[in-house]
Structure 1
């Protein structure tokens, strides 16, 4: 289950066009299965009919808007025609899969998180699974080799992209919504301007007691009466009447007092342990040990397994030992955080979110170590500044989120797009789109941004840039000047040649970085190995940082001592401030990682 990276999956899961030109995006709508096809220039109803094996009239009936003709870039839905499945015995299936049986109210999102397995894998392996209407007791195949391969952020992204696919072809007057923690039938009906009974009917009789965070439901399209983040009754620390957050006065402990810390982690969910959070806790303990040795303070720690269950978190908050806490670390996820924050506001104690980016909860007691997404690219603005020649390299599929981030970074600055298409070396001719030499034959400072979401294409483009660089310099020409602004998701790719990062001068923006050859990190690694018998992970480093920053701060004025001060316990720096319009104290320091041609790495 241990891992530091996860499989990247975006809206086009796999290639955008499979054999025969069929779309790779498949969804269920009202119990029926459809391809989501993006119309390309020059495509005809006749051609689509032949590609997908359905009649032209059937396509029109499912997409009334195309009766007057197809429009390029329009999404349409085409009924899925299944081939006869290959039947396998349970004995054969068990060699590859575990079996999961759907419990009452369980969502595909929850199953994905339980096994840390990509949503796409679940859908691929269970072709008859309707994610929005799973049946009680329905058997779902869980691919053993993929268990533990996906993190929460990846699952959230894939689930959101499935929602977007549905909305791109939704029936008029309806759309799809992912239920957020704290949302109820009442708040949703009020927000979308319908009665609770109407909301139930839209969702095939769904009852209020069965509404779960992470579920995808049908809501009226275009009738939302409140913005997504304005549901004040679900935001701890926000009062509906005033919209003002509560100012908290934190008490400073005396050196003679013992610091009581509560640590809330999902160490096991449904009996399945998660080593990542054990790693975090072990790193946290080493950090506390270091604090105690250097400052002489006394610390008492209570560890709680939240099981990623809001009901369990409520039980923890009611526990007498928990209620004596001076500092709370966790829970990891935003669901269930409200109970903890409300308690912390009453007691005037800080709550540390060690890993998640908190989007909805707004409170003066909340401190976030994950860097603010709004400030992600501040440290690379120089790469796209005056005099830089920026080229966006595109392929058949695009990482849409990365593209949006890059376009926001560029603003009104000029750039060009280049479409890369792989051709085998034996078939390449003049002006081959696989040969990137023309992009480097200039005297400018070039910045390349690879927008592809396909691991093979990314690897080929990076190799093509390195090859073009070598070709130009070997002919005695002036060495090209270029940098590649990398996508942090590349670190999830298992087969990407990391050595190419140095050849292409790749620059990454990262939430965390630790070079194992640094003296401070090596010392920590040795201490961790002696204590626990294994090497630390990035979760271990984050746990250590959390203890080193917040345990000493409890003996001073935590709110003002941490504000706008830099902390670098190991190698990653934290700088806390309040985002505009928020009461939370959020780390806004991202790490810039620079790979150099001499095979060295520097961080900023």
Structure 2
């Protein structure tokens, strides 16, 4: 019997060697996800060869890793290197788990640095050492294969991911310098599979990208397709299961857009449990070196003439008022204010001169390069960095992007119109520059009519930015019609609004909407009376505070400064109070930022969603409308 087992083992080992499998010994702190990312395979691939790993996964476990179809080029990898130790005196109610979370280390790493913890429990008053690590970035080469692929016309990320049987995230991992929007002719790294193995993107089908945590049950509710139906269209599901980012083929008539998640408002005041003092750094471009504090008039002129400085100071006031409001709830804050001077060199110096490793969060900086530098520098210590006034180019794992993405704004407006059962028609009016986006919008509303602006009579390649009254003649009838106006040309907006207002008679109701309310809608030729008459709707990251309701922040601001708060002051207040409330409701900001938690304050609301291999992006969006010269939230 023993000889038979030996022969089987030898045969199995030979099989693994022949297929170029790899043995991996699990190290402390590693997860199935981190290991699969290291070898460019999926967790499902690892579980298929190591079924026991689902119930028993611990250090020194030996895993069989299949050969990846992806990559033969050097890739950037990260490892942790011990720097030194930080002394910590244990406080009441502190646990090993809590300290591990706080300092971004594992419980086992703390025990190794304090051997007595293997035989004794952690107790108040213990003086222990916390290991500190730095992230070492190096290049590593895997013995796998990759080939170059030239992007074809009309191909996007998901089409290419589907063609080569990988997820969108895996395609992005293969191509770290790929543009957000790829263009025909771009060269990408793709798995080196046979041409006959490439999938064909069939025009007669629709396609859907699987979101994180989605199950066959949730897809049944969203797509109205059973697991059996999905597996029939996508046979690979039977072996791989659902994976976030994978692209599924679905019937053409299936609505793959879905609705944006609706989450009830969360009142964090009832969940406050963590009342230790919060350490917050505020990094803003005050540019104090340019201000002569001895000349009051000169300072006033600088504030008046610099929109950036005015916005920064208003935001700062909002932050201070939020700290005061939090203090009344028992939340104390240690705030450190730092001047980045809107300069990368100054920001780098601040990072060198200050230790942020034990901070609960850092707000800012505003300038993109400086923000990226701070986020990367604090990533190793897992310190959250809040993008308060800008959208960062890279959402690292410790980044909290408070401004929702443009695609979320667009989707919010589309979902709002779709949800109105009283609409009779949808009309899309667009200039030539927005033609492609408007055609995609028309796909959202199959029975809609698309009207494009006229071209210049002399120069046929130039957009004249107008439409004839005849273009919209007989388009509108009794009932409600939504009109999407897609442009950033002020004169075009003005002429279209004038034409539409002339059609609002008797039982004809026209609701003007746009997915992108840009500055062209605020031009001198456009008045709020005309917009109010058309009940103008648009998606927004914030709303105006309600003047009809009692508001402590607005009242206190008016009392202190004699004017109503600007949107920057309100944003400083909202972001800071939300940050402090979340920190006080959990051990850290990551735990307090689940996508089931949605908060709302003066003009802003927040619901964070963790992006794959990245940080947290706010998904809470308003749809607002003009109502009797006021801008209010649309219900």
Q: Scaled by the length of structure 2, what TM-score is found?
A: 0.48
Cα separation, 2, equivalents of 1:598 and 1:496: 13
- Cα–Cα, structure 1 residues 536 and 350, in superposed 2: closer, same or farther, change >3 Å? same
Q: Which residue of 1 aligns with 2:503?
A: 468
Q: Is the 8 A contact 1:260 1:326 kept in 2?
A: yes
Cα separation, 1, equivalents of 2:350 and 2:579: 21
Q: Which residue of 1 aligns with 2:361?
A: 327
Match of 1:511 among 527, 541, 559: 541
Cα separation, 1, equivalents of 2:346 and 2:529: 46
Match of 1:591 among 622, 626, 629: 622
- Cα–Cα, structure 1 residues 513 and 555, in superposed 2: closer, same or farther, change >3 Å? same
* 1:392 has 2:421 as partner: no
Cα separation, 1, equivalents of 2:622 and 2:439: 17
Q: Scaled by the length of structure 1, what TM-score is found?
A: 0.50
Q: Is the 8 A contact 1:317 1:323 kept in 2?
A: no
| 1:244-285 CA-partner distances (Å, limit 9, x unpaired) | xxxxxxxx9985632221111123399466211111111111
Cα separation, 1, equivalents of 2:331 and 2:341: 31
Displacement after TM superposition at 1:389 (Å)? 2.2
Cα separation, 1, equivalents of 2:470 and 2:487: 17
TM alignment of 1:28-39, pairs within 5 A: none
Match of 2:278 among 259, 275, 280: 259
| 1:175-195 CA-partner distances (Å, limit 9, x unpaired) | xxxxxxxxxxxxxxx9999xx
- Cα–Cα, structure 1 residues 552 and 442, in superposed 2: closer, same or farther, change >3 Å? closer
Q: Which residue of 1 aligns with 2:408?
A: 375
Match of 2:571 among 508, 519, 542: 542
**Computing the radius of gyration over CA atoms, which structure comes out larger, 1 or 2?**
2
Q: Is the 8 A contact 1:419 1:433 kept in 2?
A: no
Cα separation, 2, equivalents of 1:389 and 1:277: 44
Cα separation, 1, equivalents of 2:609 and 2:522: 30
Q: Which residue of 2 aligns with 1:553?
A: 582
Displacement after TM superposition at 1:421 (Å)? 6.6
- Cα–Cα, structure 1 residues 389 and 317, in superposed 2: closer, same or farther, change >3 Å? same
Q: Which residue of 1 aligns with 2:84?
A: none
TM alignment of 1:334-413, pairs within 5 A: 334-363=368-397, 365-380=398-413, 381-384=415-418, 388-395=424-431, 398-399=433-434, 404=437, 407-408=440-441, 410-411=443-444, 413=446
Q: What is the SS of the residue equivalent to 1:347? A: coil
Displacement after TM superposition at 1:302 (Å)? 1.4
TM alignment of 1:31-70, pairs within 5 A: none
Cα separation, 1, equivalents of 2:536 and 2:335: 42
Displacement after TM superposition at 1:301 (Å)? 1.3
Cα separation, 2, equivalents of 1:253 and 1:260: 17
Q: Is the 8 A contact 1:384 1:410 kept in 2?
A: no
**Paired residues, what number?**
343
- Cα–Cα, structure 1 residues 597 and 545, in superposed 2: closer, same or farther, change >3 Å? closer
Displacement after TM superposition at 1:443 (Å)? 3.5
* 1:290 has 2:321 as partner: no
Cα separation, 2, equivalents of 1:351 and 1:253: 22
Q: Which residue of 1 aligns with 2:27?
A: none
Displacement after TM superposition at 1:590 (Å)? 1.1
* 1:493 has 2:523 as partner: yes
Cα separation, 2, equivalents of 1:355 and 1:536: 17
Cα separation, 2, equivalents of 1:253 and 1:515: 26
Displacement after TM superposition at 1:448 (Å)? 1.2
Match of 2:601 among 544, 555, 569: 569
Cα separation, 2, equivalents of 1:367 and 1:353: 6
- Structure 1 residue runs without a partner (length 5+): 1-189, 194-220, 228-251, 423-431, 474-478
Q: Is the 8 A contact 2:493 2:521 kept in 1?
A: no
Worse-matched range after superposition: 321-330 or 481-490: 321-330
Cα separation, 1, equivalents of 2:597 and 2:623: 19
Cα separation, 1, equivalents of 2:483 and 2:418: 10
Q: Is the 8 A contact 2:375 2:396 kept in 1?
A: no
Match of 1:418 among 426, 447, 451: 451
Q: Is the 8 A contact 2:282 2:336 kept in 1?
A: yes
Cα separation, 2, equivalents of 1:191 and 1:589: 28
Q: What is the SS of the residue equivalent to 2:383? A: coil
Displacement after TM superposition at 1:571 (Å)? 3.8
TM alignment of 1:79-478, pairs within 5 A: 222=185, 224=187, 257-268=276-287, 271=290, 274-293=309-328, 295-320=329-354, 322=356, 325-363=359-397, 365-380=398-413, 381-384=415-418, 388-395=424-431, 398-399=433-434, 404=437, 407-408=440-441, 410-411=443-444, 413-419=446-452, 433-434=468-469, 438-439=473-474, 441-443=476-478, 445-469=480-504, 472-473=505-506
